[in-house]
Amino acid sequence: MEIAVTVNGQTYERDVEPRKLLIHFLRDDLDLTGSHIGCDTGNCGACSVIVDGVLLKSCMLLAVQANGTRIETVEGLSEDGELTRLQQAFNEHHALQCGYCTPGMLMSTTALLRENPSPSEDEIKKALQGNICRCTGYWNIVEAVKSVAK
Amino acid sequence: MSETTLAPAPVEVQKGWGGQSVKRKEDKRLLQGEGVFVDDVKRHGMGYLHFVRSPYAHAHITRIDVSAAEAIDGVYGTLTGEEVAALTDPFFQISSAPGANIKDYALAVGKVRYVGEPVVAVVAETRELARDASELVEVDYEALPALVDARRAQDSDAPVLHEDAGGNLMWTGLYSWGDFDAALAEADRVVKIPELHFHRFNSTPLECDGALVEYNRGVGQWTIHTNNQFPGFAAIMMGPAMRTGLDKLRFVTQDIGGGFGNKITSHPQLVVCCLLARKLNRPVQWTEWRTDFHLSMSHGNERWFHDTEVAVKDDGTLLGFRTKALDDAGAWLRYEPLGGVIWAQVTPGMYRWRHIELDFTQVATNKAPVSPNRGYSRMQHLWFTERVIDIVARELDLDPVDVRKRNYIRAEDMPYETPNGCVYDSGDYAATLDLALQLIGYDSLAGRRADAEARGKRLGVGIGSTLDSGTNNFGQSQLINPELQFSGNNEVATVKLDIFGEIVVTLGTTPQGQGHETTAAQVVADILSCSPDDVHVRAGHDSYWNSHAGFSGTYASQFAVTGLSAVKGATEMLAAEIKKLAGAVFGGVPAEALELADGGVRIKDNPDAFLPFMACGAIINANNAGLPEDLDVTLNCRYVYRPPFEVPDVERKFGNLTLTYAVQIHVAVVEVDPETGSYEIVDYAAVDDCGKRINPQIVEGQVMGATAQALGAAVHETYEYDEDGNLLTPNFYDYHVPHALDMPPLATGAIESPSPFTPLGTKGMGEGGGAGIHAICAAIQDATGQIVTDSHNPYQRVWELMQQ
């Protein structure tokens, strides 16, 4: 099927198999390998992206379902190579180790902060409950997000 | 004797970069989605590999037909066990007999031995097609009875996995030090514990295993882009099996999405990729699915301790213990039976008992093969010693804190030789425990107990005190099999000054989040008097770089010793060469009159005589005419760090098995709901002593991660099988790992007792010793008043405990 999606401001037109997952489309067809795959059941959140303003796990969506949407991925967060405040906070608080879950963590918390610029600690943890990290134990991730909350 | 600095009083920041929480160099690319993980590596014309896996725990393979799969357009080819058996030899076995006799190939040959075992590999144009085509592979099985309980493995009617081994016994060894019978005679009491069980789980790195393998037909060489975390081990397993020299196996790693030991034994899958890349004449890409990982990869060792006897005095003085350890290896011995000796690195745990007897038996079962998992094999043993402490305390009606303090190895006895010859390098265990208790507010617990009771809850407090033994002496493998020719350890670094003065560091390690680029840069910056920003550390491992040795990799808590000592050695060589060059350029100035500063080298009392690194690099690399003929300078320095080890005494099973012994003491406070058995961890403290910390923030991050994994294992994570050998937790749906909401409040503390045996005073750390698993067990025991005998305590088990 022919689809057209806009990812991080750039429009791509591609012919995709109807059964292809959005995450595989992003990674394999568009070479946007920042979003990752950590499970096959929709639990881990490493593939989280924002589609038309809504936070979604891109392994739970077919590429064809994303036809006509505007997608934001981790590659689109920073501008001109400058890290956002949230990205800087992750660095300052040592909120990442292997970095594999990090793109998903950043997308989930970016979506949270857009909706709620001053989340409580509990709200931050709730926003992260769909994202698994095996390295950090989450403490520093929560601290990083807290530090940029208004 | 070593100095001990108490935190949280601020640790004095030494002059320089070492000891500072320098922000990680790795983060910028990882935060922008610009890391390169193995599944990100692509090649033109590559085929995607999918494994057909066994649906049976134990069965004969009677027929395989791949023709329907191969007939599909876009399917490039397949590989069966029969082909593997013709093209390769069985993997070398670490074990002595009977385990030595098993025949382990990269795919199942003739028989399957666990659910999820790879049987056929299919390669196709797309991931989806490879998966679909796998469904068309026909495999006929003749089911056999399955063995899932290791305790039944040696029964006369037990199903036998490996006929070549003559039964399910893989390895057994009796360890005995001191005189346990004399300890029994001296004891006031003998505490008996019939059975303790340490459960099966693993660390589930978020990135599964994978590889992209290219075959260069012209030179007969494979390039293996992979996330295997111990290429040195993979190479010695793969080369002989594939009948090829190690120069034909080029391993390349870049960013790795967590490892925790679970990515050490992917060599069978890598062999399949290699054979198919050659057979199909195209690059082959394999990325393991999460369910495949859970079914087949690197489960942690499940272990029972039977008929334990503990010789104690009435005052709680521990004299010794005797026990029988039964270890479930699963279906294959991929890294095993090394777990049968690795535990001995911490034989007495943290205690002074001198009479120890442990009869170790490892058996095969129809479950996924076990392999190293964060805290590998020591964690099981340390959980056992900690359980013994709390059970003894309960039986003697003593305070677990007092029993620990009475028996802990004392700071003034460091370095301390254990009954089996290991030399604990430094530490003050009692002071570490005091700090942990202070962080938890131990003195106010009585009030909190009453408060919990008023709310209908039962409060419990528990301690886990463990060691993270790091920098293996691989000579311990000879205690498993005296025929083996491994001993010592090593790691390599190269440091060079390039043509425009770039400082380039190459490591042999395979970091998976431990921040090697940052800490290596800190060590280099201190020696060359520059900033870590000026130091370029190549990410990952490449066996083309000449910066690896036989034990290169990232495993077993050793980078801060092996990796950083190699970096230190290479950088000191470079510093000396820079001075030698500058001395010649300045017309014969001796090295003592020169110093490195401000990105160059200068004469101490003459600031005008300054040669920037850029000039040094340019002179040696591109402008070297006229230099003295005997100037032995390349500005490209390679150093191999070799820890000071002896081969252990095989007869006595005696010797120093690791170089450093970092300390973790955790304290947990739980509140149990007696109605349901559910419990909440309401407070938690983790204190770590890993000697000199190069980067305290990175160290604390490792402590946090190890804590989270321990809590996950204690409460939620388990690989349980049904009686037919089906894994009940084959993905994150059923295998619950902790989420942000599961994490308790955490206080961390640090003590620095520098290791007297390492060049930087550092100790390996990162694995932790699984202290948290025991802290939870002990807290539940305290809250319920019932002896806890299992390392895994989900709510229903706690409820069952309270019904006793």
- What CATH code is carried by the domain that includes residue B96? 3.90.1170.50
Q: How many CB pairs under 8 A join A and B?
A: 179
Residues of chain B in contact with residue A131, where contact means CB-CB under 8 angstroms, are 739-740
CA distance B275 to B512: 27
Dihedral through CA B348, CA B353, CA B354, CA B359, nearest 10?
Answer: -50
Instruction: State percent of chain B over pLDDT 70.
Output: 98
Same domain? For B268 and B347 the reply is no
B89 within some domain: yes
pLDDT tens digits along B341-379 = 999 999 999 999 999 999 999 999 999 999 999 999 999
Same domain? For B527 and B592 the reply is yes
Residues of chain A in contact with residue B27, where contact means CB-CB under 8 angstroms, are 90-91, 96, 99
Q: What is the mean pLDDT of residues A5-26?
A: 97
- Sequence-separated (6 or more) residues with CB below 8 Å from residue B432: B465, B663, B665, B687, B689, B751
Same domain? For B511 and B606 the reply is yes
**Confidence band for B12, pLDDT divided at 50, 70 and 90:** very low
Cβ pair A91:B707 closer than 8 A: no
Same domain? For B606 and B670 the reply is no
- Residues 510-539 in B contacting A (C-alpha not used; CB under 8 Å): 512-515
Q: Is B205 on the interface with A (CB under 8 A)?
A: yes
ipTM: 0.99
Pick the CATH number of A85-148 from 1.10.150.120, 1.10.645.10, 3.30.360.10, 3.40.50.1240: 1.10.150.120
pLDDT tens digits along B705-755 = 999 999 999 999 999 999 999 999 999 999 999 999 999 999 999 999 999
Q: What is the pLDDT of residue A80?
A: 84
| Locus of tokens 């964060």 | B374
Minimum-distance CB partner of A91 among B23, B35, B37: B23
- How distant is the Cα of A54 from the closest Cα of chain B, in angstroms? 20
Cβ pair A90:B31 closer than 8 A: yes
- Residues 123-182 in B contacting A (C-alpha not used; CB under 8 Å): 126-128
| Chain A, nearest residue to B203 by Cα | A134
Q: What is the pLDDT of residue B8?
A: 39
Same domain? For B665 and B581 the reply is no
Looking at this protein, which amino acid is placed at residue B68?
A
Same domain? For B452 and B599 the reply is no
Q: Are B123 and B70 in contact (CB under 8 A)?
A: no
Task: Look at residues B296, B311, B344 and tell me which one is the last residue of a structural domain.
Answer: B296
Structure tokens at A112: 């949270």
Same domain? For B292 and B373 the reply is no
Look at phi and psi of residue B286 and say left if phi exceeds 0, alpha if psi is from -120 to 50, else beta.
Answer: beta
- Sequence-separated (6 or more) residues with CB below 8 Å from residue B19: B11, B13, B692, B693, B694, B696
DSSP string covering A65-114, please? GGTT-EEE-GGGTSBTTBPPHHHHHHHHTT--SS-SSHHHHHHHHHHHHH
Q: What is the CATH number of the domain that holds B560?
A: 3.30.365.10
Q: What is the pLDDT of residue B2?
A: 37
DSSP string covering B710-726, please? HHHHHHT----B-TTS-
Query: Per the structure, how many domains does chain B have?
Result: 3
pLDDT tens digits along A95-139 = 999 999 999 999 999 999 999 999 999 999 999 999 999 999 999
Cβ pair A31:B42 closer than 8 A: yes
Q: Is B743 on the interface with A (CB under 8 A)?
A: yes
CA distance B369 to B300: 9
Q: What is the pLDDT of residue B44?
A: 97
- How distant is the Cα of A116 from the closest Cα of chain B, in angstroms? 18
pLDDT greater than 80 at residue B408: yes
- Residues 90-149 in A contacting B (C-alpha not used; CB under 8 Å): 90-92, 94, 96-103, 106, 124-126, 128-129, 131-142
Q: What is the pLDDT of residue B153?
A: 98
Q: What is the mean pLDDT of residues B275-284?
A: 98
Q: Which helix (H) or strand (E) is B460 found in, with range?
A: strand B458-472
* CB burial string B400-437: b at 16+ within 10 A, e below: bbebbebbbbebeebbbebbbbbbbbbbbbbbbbbbbb
Q: Are B424 and B418 in contact (CB under 8 A)?
A: yes
Q: Range(s) for CATH 3.10.20.30 in chain A?
A: 2-76
Rounded to 5 degrees, φ, ψ at B304 are -110, 150
Task: Look at residues B245, B273, B296 and tell me which one is the last residue of a structural domain.
Answer: B296
Q: What is the pLDDT of residue B5?
A: 38
Structure tokens at B70: 């191969």
SS (H, E, C) B624-653: CCCCCCCCCCCCEEEEEECCCCCCCECCCC
- Residues 13-32 in A contacting B (C-alpha not used; CB under 8 Å): 17, 19-20, 24, 27-28, 31-32
Residues of chain B in contact with residue A32, where contact means CB-CB under 8 angstroms, are 33
Give the three-class secondary structure for B452: helix
CA distance B270 to B266: 6
**Confidence band for A53, pLDDT divided at 50, 70 and 90:** very high
Q: What is the pLDDT of residue B11?
A: 37
Structure tokens at B743: 């994490």
Testing the interface with B: which of A83, A86, A97, A136 to mutate, by most B Cβ within 10 A? A97
Q: What is the mean pLDDT of residues B511-533?
A: 97
Looking at this protein, which amino acid is placed at residue B209?
D
pLDDT tens digits along B73-86 = 999 999 999 999 99
Average pLDDT, chain A: 97
Structure tokens at B82: 């029969």
User: How crowded is residue B510: how many other Cβ atoms within 10 Å of its Cβ?
Assistant: 29
Q: What is the pLDDT of residue A120?
A: 98
Instruction: State percent of chain A over pLDDT 70.
Output: 100
Same domain? For B288 and B233 the reply is yes
Minimum-distance CB partner of B741 among A43, A92, A125: A125
B189 within some domain: no
pLDDT tens digits along B755-800 = 999 999 999 999 998 999 999 999 999 999 999 999 999 999 999 9
CA distance B37 to B50: 19
Measured between its terminal Cα atoms, the distance across chain B in Å is 48
Same domain? For B608 and B675 the reply is no
Same domain? For B214 and B73 the reply is yes
Cα distances from B768 to residues A95, B201, B379, B467, in angstroms, run 19, 16, 8, 7
Q: Range(s) for CATH 1.10.150.120 in chain A?
A: 85-148
Quick one: how far is CA B468 from the chain centroid? 10
Q: What is the pLDDT of residue B14?
A: 42
Strand partners, A71: A7, A51
Q: Give the residue among B81, B100, B232 at the shortest CA–CA distance from B164.
A: B100
Q: What is the mean pLDDT of residues B293-307?
A: 98
Q: What is the mean pLDDT of residues B657-665?
A: 98
Same domain? For B91 and B217 the reply is yes
* Range of the structural domain that residue B706 is part of: 178-184+196-201+298-476+647-803
Q: Is the dihedral of CA B727, A62, A105, A26 positive or negative?
A: positive
- Residues 36-95 in A contacting B (C-alpha not used; CB under 8 Å): 36-41, 43-44, 46, 73-75, 77-78, 81, 83, 87, 90-92, 94
pLDDT tens digits along A30-39 = 999 999 999 9
CA distance B565 to B758: 8
Cβ pair B732:A24 closer than 8 A: no
**Confidence band for A81, pLDDT divided at 50, 70 and 90:** confident
Q: What is the pLDDT of residue B15?
A: 59
Q: Give the residue among B403, B401, B373, B231 at the shortest CA–CA distance from B303.
A: B373
Cβ pair B205:A98 closer than 8 A: yes
Q: What is the pLDDT of residue A150?
A: 86
Q: What is the mean pLDDT of residues B409-436?
A: 98
B151 within some domain: no
CA distance B297 to B370: 7
Same domain? For B396 and B328 the reply is yes
Contacts for B499-503: CB closer than 8 Å, 24+ residues apart: B499/B617, B499/B618, B499/B621, B499/B622, B500/B614, B500/B617, B500/B618, B501/B599, B501/B612, B501/B613, B501/B614, B501/B615, B501/B616, B501/B617, B501/B618, B502/B536, B502/B617, B503/B528, B503/B530, B503/B534, B503/B535, B503/B536, B503/B613
Task: Look at residues B591, B623, B641 and tell me which one is the last residue of a structural domain.
Answer: B641
B483 within some domain: no
Q: Is the dihedral of CA B476, B480, B482, B484 positive or negative?
A: negative
Q: Which CATH architecture fits A2-76?
A: Roll (3.10)
Q: Are B683 and B744 in contact (CB under 8 A)?
A: yes
Q: What is the pLDDT of residue A7?
A: 98
| Locus of tokens 């080369």 | B239
Structure tokens at B791: 């390392």
